[in-house]
Amino acid sequence: MPAATAADTPVIEIRNLHKAYGRFEVLKGVDLVARRGTVVSMIGSSGSGKSTLLRCCNLLEDSQQGEVIFEGDPVRWKGEGMSRHPADRDQVIRIRTNLSMVFQQFNLWSHMTVLQNVMEAPVTVLKRDPREVEDKARAYLAKVGIADKAEAWPAQLSGGQQQRAAIARALCMEPRALLFDEPTSALDPELQQEVVRVIKDLAAEHRTMILVTHDMKLAADVSDHVVFLHKGRIEEEGPPDRLFGDPQTERLRGFLSAGG
């Protein structure tokens, strides 16, 4: 059998992850694998643990048990249970800078122009040359269809434009993977489609993405693998055609028949 190569190593692998807030256990032993060039979507009811799992991937949340592995390198922890947290700050920074997050509420800095928002992290965190970053930032703004908004302030943009600016900001970090946390749920239906088109374009480029979404059509269209969470556990997972076309569990059938 040929030896595994770096290309075979998952970008993110989660093993037996447990996460609690006090006595409330949100994740109850979850496994997740995001391989290079694939899209993994997480679906499930509100409160099922989807967003928490996404935030555990890039260590915005600490977990109490289990492994988080980035490109074959397990996160090093110190402490146990509720006292557990990452032991290596440099490792945390490396993981976060390589897993760019796109949030539901855009999180653009209101005191910066759109261009400045997109440039900020590569310049201040990665210490890259501002002139080179500006060229890339403008290219990514063009990629998401808002090149003409580079000098605008976030407040001057529609919600769909703000979310596309947030995607450009994530892309400008040139990460190993993009993490989307309900990227369309704060938008009106007509503005959702602007963002959906960008996500579909990124999926067509075989970018590694983990997507938390209530949009079942989007999950069906872009995903290589879909995970259905229910009360902190994976109830069912597999390719989108099987999960959406022939769900095996009663819970998933009920979830889909209720409209997601």
Instruction: Tell me, yes or no, whether 148 lies in a domain.
Output: yes
Handedness of CA 213, 218, 219, 222 (dihedral sign): negative
Those residues whose C-beta lies under 8 Å from the C-beta of residue 90, and which sit 6 or more positions away, are: none
Q: What pLDDT is stored for residue 33 in this prediction? A: 97
d(CA 100, CA 176) in angstroms, rounded, equals: 8
Those residues whose C-beta lies under 8 Å from the C-beta of residue 143, and which sit 6 or more positions away, are: 168, 171, 198, 201
**Neighbouring C-beta atoms of residue 245, cutoff 10 Å:** 9
> In terms of residue numbers, what domain contains 150?
6-257
d(CA 27, CA 248) in angstroms, rounded, equals: 22
Instruction: Tell me, yes or no, whether 65 lies in a domain.
Output: yes
Distance of alpha carbon 69 from the chain centroid: 15
pLDDT tens across the length of the chain (260 residues):
444 456 689 999 999 999 999 999 999 999 999 999 999 999 999 999 999 999 999 999 999 999 999 999 999 999 999 999 999 999 999 999 999 999 988 899 999 999 999 999 999 999 999 999 999 999 999 999 999 999 999 999 999 999 999 999 999 999 999 999 999 988 998 899 999 999 999 999 999 999 999 999 999 999 999 999 999 999 999 999 999 999 999 999 999 998 76
Q: What pLDDT is stored for residue 6 in this prediction? A: 63
Instruction: Tell me, yes or no, whether 67 lies in a domain.
Output: yes
Buried b (16+ CB within 10 A) or exposed e, 60-79: bbbbbbbebbbbeeebebee
Q: What pLDDT is stored for residue 1 in this prediction? A: 43
**Percent helix / strand / coil, the chain, rounded to 5:** 40, 25, 35
Instruction: Tell me, yes or no, whether 168 lies in a domain.
Output: yes
Instruction: Tell me, yes or no, whether 196 lies in a domain.
Output: yes
- For the chain, how many structural domains are there in total? 1
Q: What pLDDT is stored for residue 5 in this prediction? A: 55
Instruction: Tell me, yes or no, whether 1 lies in a domain.
Output: no
Return the CATH number at 250: 3.40.50.300
